[in-house]
Amino acid sequence: MANEKRWYSGMLTTEDWWSFWIGIFFVALGVIAAATRVDLTGWIVWFPKWSNISNSLIADHPEMLSGIASLIVSYIIFTIATCIGARAMNMDMKKYFLSWTIIFWLTAILFILSRNAYIQATSIERADLGIDWSLSIGGAHYIIALLFGLIIGNLFPKKFREFMRTAAKPEWFIKIAIVCLGVKLGMKAVDATAFALELLIAGCCATIAAYLLFWPLVYTLARKAFNTTREWAAVLASGISICGVSASIATGGAIRARPIVPVMVSGIIVVFALVELIVLPPVLTYTPWFQEPMAAGSSLGLTVKTDGADAASGEITDVLMRTRAAEELGVEWEEGWITSAAVMTKIWIDMFIGVWALVLAMLWLFYVEKRPDEKVEKMQIWWRFPKFVVGYFLAWFGVMALGLTVISPEAMDWGVHPVESPMRKLFFMLTFTSIGLETDFRRLSEEGMGKMAIIYGLALLIIIIPIGWALALIFHHGMTPPVVGG
């Protein structure tokens, strides 16, 4: 907090801002490409489903360069981009570059292998791919990336695990992907659908639920049922109700908690978020939630408490539900909408972290520390505001405004599609690998984690999930993703 003296503090040194810079840079490249018809983004690599491995890579604009060349160019350019960010954030550059390179190529190889048609093709796609059968496991690539990350992050030698964690930045990668996702909403708005705006408005329930229902209930549970101190109860309540990492740290700072408190709360929530990421998507897909796909996506934003795991679980649910819809209903839903529901709901919660930190700081000064004359800086609201959300809305409304006025929708789609689709999905894959690398199950055995795990588990089962699911249904029932070509 001592460093946050100006509104621009941290603009070139924090991970949150670097997700904005990198995301917006590539979005801008796409928009410039659309405006000038100079292909600045078509080199971005895509990993299509394949039955012949020679077709496993393709540039988004295939006429530009070959698949393998686009993979190499993508590696070079994304390496430069993330290394600039890493340098600005004072990371050990040699370690970052080497660790990033391993993560990138491991992720690329896993992406290629898991996109095999026998694993992923739906029944509708089999004929085009020249195969007679397939497992139709949509989203297999994400699960495989996660699994390999977990294996390395928990079973490999300690030195290698710690080395790999240098560039395993799931929050950074997913926030870059979310900025790219803003382009999708912008393009949808250009297509004159009100669905995107309806989704935006319906997500507002999450803010009220997180701050005015979940937080006080979890705080009371921790204080009364588990006899914790205010310090632990407040940080736990923020981590469990709002956001596991950002809100825990913001709350810890606001109430001047000891550093160990938000660190341990963040640790337990990352592990639980991983469990939710594995459990919730199939639960939502193969239960009556399937009838309410957008509500299902929104429920993830209300119940999964890290941005990375929320977007990741939204993406898996998106793929699983679309696959099931194609197989059983013969309907092809547009991809990315269920993911957007999960992300939008979480964004509504994240946006007010700074406000809540300010409220808690004032309460603590007045009632706990009994220093009512001390001033709390209102700039906390801006300093704590998640900057990737700024990028998300800038991408959304920027693309929409330009696409409705000076750039034709076709040109806009040509320019920004590589960023909105292949780049976003590549960064999603990098997120999954990184979540696996970063999640250390050994943390569960640390002293004190047991009590926190019980509080978290109980809060999830009796407060967060029941209320979150009910609200997701009330505010999103009947919404289904638009149909392709519809």
Partner 1 sequence: MSQEQKDFSEEAPQEPEPWEEWETKLVKWSLIIGVGALIVLGSLINIFILH
- Please report how close the Cβ of residue 159 comes to partner 1 at its closest, in angstroms: 17
Please identify, using beta-carbon distances, which residue of 437 and 452 lies nearer to partner 1. Answer: 452
Q: Which residues contact residue 66 at a Cβ distance below 8 angstroms, ignoring those fewer than 6 apart?
A: 57, 59
Nearer to partner 1, 215 or 333 (CB): 215
Residue from 288, 330, 372, 478 touching partner 1 (CB under 8 A): that is 478
Residue number, 91 or 235, with CB nearest to partner 1: 235
Among 97-105, 331-339, 419-427, 471-479, the segment contacting partner 1 (CB under 8 A): 471-479
Residues linked to residue 46 through DSSP beta bridges, in sequence order: 58
For residues 357 and 253, the answer to whether their CB atoms sit within 8 Å is: yes
Beta-bridge mates of residue 116: 50
Which x/- pattern over 232-271 shows residues binding partner 1 (rule: CB under 8 A)? Answer: x-------------------------xxxx-xx-------
Total interface residues for partner 1 by CB under 8 A = 40
- Residue with Cβ nearer partner 1 (87 or 224): 224
Q: Enumerate residues 419-448 that contact partner 1 by CB under 8 A.
A: 446-448
Dihedral class, residue 290 (left if φ above 0, else alpha if ψ from -120 to 50, else beta): alpha
Instruction: Quote the CA–CA distance of 364 and 42 in Å, as a whole number.
Output: 53
CB of 204 to partner 1, least distance (A): 6
Kindly tell me which of 448 and 457 has the beta carbon lying closer to partner 1. 448
Interface positions, 196-235, toward partner 1 (CB under 8 A): 198, 201-202, 204-205, 208-209, 211-213, 215-217, 219-220, 223-224, 227-230, 232
Phi, psi of 49 (to 5 degrees): -65, 145
Q: Tell me: does residue 291 bind partner 1 (CB under 8 A).
A: no
Burial class (CB in 10 A: 0-12, 13-18, 19+), 372: exposed
Q: Which is nearer to partner 1, 102 or 265 (CB)?
A: 265
Residues of 34-43 as b/e, b for ≥16 C-beta within 10 angstroms?
beeeebbbbb
* Smallest separation (angstroms) from partner 1 to the CB of 287: 21
462 belongs to the binding site for partner 1 (CB under 8 A): no
CB 474 → partner 1: shortest distance, Å?
Answer: 5
If the CB atoms of residues 6 and 258 are measured against partner 1, the closer one turns out to be: 258
In the complex with partner 1, the residue whose CB is nearer, 87 or 477, is 477
* Smallest distance from partner 1 to CB 158, Å: 14
- The residue from 245, 475, 480, 481 that contacts partner 1 (CB under 8 A) is 475
- Binding mask 42-81 toward partner 1 (x if CB under 8 A, else -) reads ----------------------------------------
Give yes or no for residue 474 binding partner 1 (CB under 8 A): yes
- Determine which residue in the list 189, 479, 480, 481 makes contact with partner 1, applying CB under 8 A: 479
CB of residue 160 to partner 1, shortest distance in Å = 21
Residues 333-372 that bind partner 1 (CB under 8 A): 363, 367
**Which parts of this chain interact with partner 1 (CB under 8 A)?**
198, 201-202, 204-205, 208-209, 211-213, 215-217, 219-220, 223-224, 227-230, 232, 258-261, 263-264, 363, 367, 446-448, 471, 474-479
